[in-house]
Chains A and B, each alone.
Chain A
Amino acid sequence: MLPCRFSYFGRMVTILAVVVCVLAGLFLSSPARAAGFPQKGKAVQMLVGFAAGGSTDVGARILASGLEKELGTAVVVVNKPGASSQIAYTALTQARPDGYTIGNTNFPSAVVSYLDPVRKATYTRKNFEPLALHVVDPGLFAVKTGSPFKTLREVVDAAKANPKKVTISTTGIQSDEHFAILQLQKMTGAQFAMVHFSQGSAPALTAILGGKIDVFCGNVGDLLAQFKSGEVRILGIMDNEETPFYPSVKTFEAQGYRLYGSSSRGFSAPAGTPKEIVNILSGAIKKAVATDEHKKRMKEMGLTLRYLDPTQYTKYWDEYEATLKELLPLTKE
């Protein structure tokens, strides 16, 4: 019963407000439905935490166009670069878990962003629902072709004999190269002088070709041009199998160092996305990845396809996180 002192007008307004609120509540709280996902005409947003045109972005866009065919609805890539993807991850974990928002989750940036307290991330591992691993870019060591280092062993031995004298490049603090080198140091007792090139691999490449740095540490996708022209000698691949991009280059494992480092790119949905939707999305990614067209494009970009389904990806994530957790304090030294 409305108080008498409210005018007629006031009462009408109040009733109207209540009606609007109820309607809004109805609109705002519709639960995620698996049946009929994805609805035709409703686009799926793919959040990418790196700028347009970069390697991650290109890979994501290629997948997005494949996904569109599999899902039957538009897949729109939205770039939200910044803070090594933290902005994109924040947006992803805060999005509605209805399957219409998925995002790129790259390692190590995703894991570092919530493990490192300095980053003040608003999310943790629990806020992600892994969908699929897409590509893996294994790490490698390389030297300039005229360099005195002919094998991986020579590099490690030199770093052991002369601590902090062998210079090696990374693509930034807490990059996958940084972690890989820390692991190698732990494993062998070698000590490298790490030089961080956070502006990408181009300045690092210049430094190695110009003879300013002894060893280039990067990923398989970085040296396609230089390998072809014979300007670099790749000493080892940090993977459990050799890479087709650089035939005749042995793995670290084969040379006695059980080091597996890589930067990898996968996709996740916000936690709470219903299981059926997760399976639909992951299945679609699997099919998109298996097409010849997709494989061809990934090969041209120098990216190594390695699909893992949600369960496998979760396991991979957990293992990766455990490794990083140990190494993280070392990156602060």
Chain B
Amino acid sequence: MDAIQNLFMGFTVALTPQNLLFAFLGSVLGTLIGVLPGIGPVAGVAMLIPLTFQMTPTGAIIMLTALFYGTQYGGTITSVLLNVPGEAASAITCIEGYEMAKQGRGGAALAIAAIGSFIGGTIATIALVLAAGPLTRWALEFGPVEFFALIMLGLSLLMGLAGKSMLKALMMGIFGMLLAMVGMDPVRGLPRFTFGRMELMDGIGFVPVIMGLFGLAEVLENAEKQFAQVFAAKMSSIIPSRKEIRDSVGPILRGTVIGTLLGLVPGMTGSASSFLSYIAERKVSKYPERFGTGVIEGVAGPETANNAHANGALIPLFTLGIPASPTVAVIMGAFMMHGLIPGPFLFKEHPDVAWGVIASFYVGNVILLILNLPLVGIWVKILKIPYGLLFGVILAFMVVGAYSVSNSAFDVLVMTLFGLIGYLLRKLDFPLAPIVLTLILGPMMERSLRQSLDMSQGSLGIFLQSPIALVLLALAALILIAPAFKLFRRGKGILN
């Protein structure tokens, strides 16, 4: 096949010592940036661009893209070990991964996450090589109408998150939705719930909020007692058990599909992908009530999804010249600054660059796997540091991380506030996951609804005219009604 031939040619480019070095550098830096809370892939890529001026276009792009998907590997580490999301897409890993770490299975969690990330990223790249055309056409089907339907499907899965108490899950979902409404509204461009503060005009920052809800709340909870050793003294083997590996296969495969497909749709973020993978896992699991106690599926799925998403988001860049995510937009800028315009003709005009970069995606994912697996043992040693010292370091990094999102001390205050809120909610036994879900999906929902209605000038019929939207909305309705049926049948009310 033509593509395979070209791919081999690409490998000859990607495997030159120079380009290998760049891939390696990008991977290492990406992992580190992922580990640092607050600084995300966008800032990382942007920061490196000036350094790449001295490099060849191929080398520069290889390094930057390696950094991009490298951050998805690194973000997992602090999420699992410290409950501090390294970056937005890793937030959901905190829920199960950290529980596992507390039980001494942090090493296994990280190992599975690395493997899943590798599989997700690699398969997404294979998709790019083999099915770029059809996948891109699929992505183009997603206008505002279909996007809205997709978001509604995601929100309906909120019902699937209800663990013990549907009531509390709903309350938290609504809370997250309300938080999502802070800022300029998409209809009039008027500030809502901003208390006159400019900093809130773009909404409450997602990263400071999750850093507070998860990371800071955890520190506060540990502060209740004198800083005793928080983590299980005996760290069981960092190699995952047979059962854990078996249990991860399904989530990894599902996560790959979810991540790749959603990564193609401009406007979908990596956190949305990883989150939807989480609730999908919860839905298909035979033991949904175990979620929240440290279930490997809740790590394998999301971590795979966010890497598949990162690699999937690069597909429209090559096929259409459209950046499907903010980080990819920065990478596109990098292309342009080296005199290349990304798009389908790149394959004709500069096949060595195009295929070299694509081949380097494989290489990069392999490098990251090799980098991250052995490092698991080292990262895990961090947990041995006495908590009385560790917590100070964690807080210092969180302060800097929250600040670095927008170079604003206000975000540090936001993080502090949500640390308190997260702590109180945990004490009162409220689930945090629904907040994150609606906080991610809420703005997307309102925006795409407004855009859809702008297109149809107010007519709701536009939703009925799109087959994709109809299917998605029907699914959403089904998911919402099904539990109601079950509950009615059992004779209890909705209020269990």
Contacts and interface: CB of A to CB of B under 8 A. Distances in A.
Q: Direct A–B touching in the complex (beta carbon < 8 Å)? A: yes
Contacts of A196: 186, 450-451, 454
Interface stretch (B89-97, B187-195, B370-378): B187-195
A172 interface: yes
Contacts of B191: 118-119
A167 B143 CA distance: 13
Interface of A: 51-55, 57-58, 61, 65, 78-84, 86-87, 90, 118-120, 164-165, 167, 172-174, 193-200, 202-203, 205-207, 209-213, 224-226, 228-229, 231, 297, 300-302, 331-332
B324 interface: yes
A271 to B, nearest CB: 20
Interface of B: 42-43, 45-47, 49-50, 139-145, 186, 188-191, 196, 198-199, 201-202, 265-267, 316, 320-324, 326-327, 329-330, 332-333, 336-339, 341-345, 406-408, 447, 450-451, 454-455, 457
A224 B455 contact: no
Contacts of A55: 333
Contacts of A58: 46, 49, 333, 337
Contact of B320 (A87, A213, A231, A332): A231
B343 A194 contact: no
A76 to B, nearest CB: 12
A200 B345 CA distance: 23
Contacts of B329: 53-54, 200, 202
Nearest to B190: A118
Nearest to B324: A202
Contact of B143 (A87, A118, A206): A206
Given A51-B42, A193-B457, A210-B141, 20 more contacts: A53-B45, A53-B326, A58-B46, A58-B337, A82-B202, A82-B406, A167-B454, A172-B189, A193-B455, A196-B451, A202-B329, A203-B144, A206-B140, A206-B322, A225-B320, A225-B342, A229-B343, A300-B336, A300-B337, A301-B333
Contacts of A197: 451
A316 B466 CA distance: 46
A230 to B, nearest CB: 9
Contact of B144 (A61, A207, A297): A207
Contacts of B45: 53
B262 to A, nearest CB: 14
A225 B341 CA distance: 6
Contact of A228 (B196, B199, B343): B343
Given A90-B198, A210-B143, A199 B267 contact: yes
A126 B320 CA distance: 44
A209 B143 CA distance: 10
A118 B266 CA distance: 31
A53 B198 CA distance: 22
Contacts of B326: 51, 53, 200
B454 A195 contact: yes
A167 B321 contact: no
A127 to B, nearest CB: 15
Nearest to A90: B198
**4 interchain residue pairs of minimum CB distance:** A225-B321, A212-B143, A53-B46, A173-B189
Contacts of B332: 225
Contact of B343 (A51, A167, A226): A226
Q: Which of A54, A82, A90 has the most CB of B within 10 A?
A: A82
A229 B344 contact: yes
A229 B321 contact: yes
A226 B344 CA distance: 9
12 contacts: A53-B326, A53-B327, A53-B330, A119-B191, A173-B188, A193-B454, A196-B451, A198-B186, A205-B266, A210-B141, A228-B341, A229-B343
A209 B320 contact: yes
B144 A195 contact: yes
Contact of A213 (B42, B141, B143, B407): B143
Contacts of B145: 212
Contact of B50 (A61, A225, A231): A61
Contacts of B196: 120
A181 to B, nearest CB: 12
A203 B337 contact: no
Contact of A53 (B322, B324, B333, B342): B333
B406 A213 contact: no
B201 A86 contact: yes
B142 A82 contact: no
Contacts of B338: 300
Which of the listed residues B46, B140, B189 has the most CB atoms from chain A within 10 Å of its own CB?
Answer: B189
Nearest to A173: B189
A78 B265 CA distance: 31
Given A90-B198, A205-B322, A80 B406 contact: yes
A53 B140 contact: no
B321 A203 contact: no
Nearest to B199: A82
A194 B454 contact: yes
B186 A206 contact: no
A207 B198 CA distance: 31
Contact of A167 (B337, B447, B455): B455
Contacts of A226: 320-322, 343
A117 B405 CA distance: 28
Nearest to A223: B321
B186 A209 contact: no
Contacts of B330: 53-54
A202 B343 CA distance: 14
A165 B450 CA distance: 16
Contact of B455 (A172, A173, A195, A199): A195
Contacts of A231: 320
Given A78-B407, A81-B406, A203 B189 contact: no
B455 A332 contact: no
Nearest to A221: B336
Contacts of A52: 42-43, 46-47
B322 A202 contact: yes
Nearest to A61: B50
B321 A82 contact: no
A231 B345 CA distance: 11
Contacts of A301: 333, 336-337
A87 B200 CA distance: 10
Contacts of B339: 300
B429 to A, nearest CB: 35
Contacts of A84: 201
A80 B409 CA distance: 11
B455 to A, nearest CB: 5
Given A58-B333, A203-B267, A212-B143, A79 B407 contact: yes
Nearest to A193: B457
A225 B162 CA distance: 45
A196 to B, nearest CB: 7
Contact of A83 (B186, B198, B320): B198
A314 B297 CA distance: 61
B44 to A, nearest CB: 9
A165 B456 CA distance: 8
A82 B407 CA distance: 10
B407 A210 contact: no
Contacts of B266: 202-203, 205-206
B408 A82 contact: yes
B336 A224 contact: yes
A144 to B, nearest CB: 10
Contacts of A297: 337
A167 B451 CA distance: 10
B345 A87 contact: no
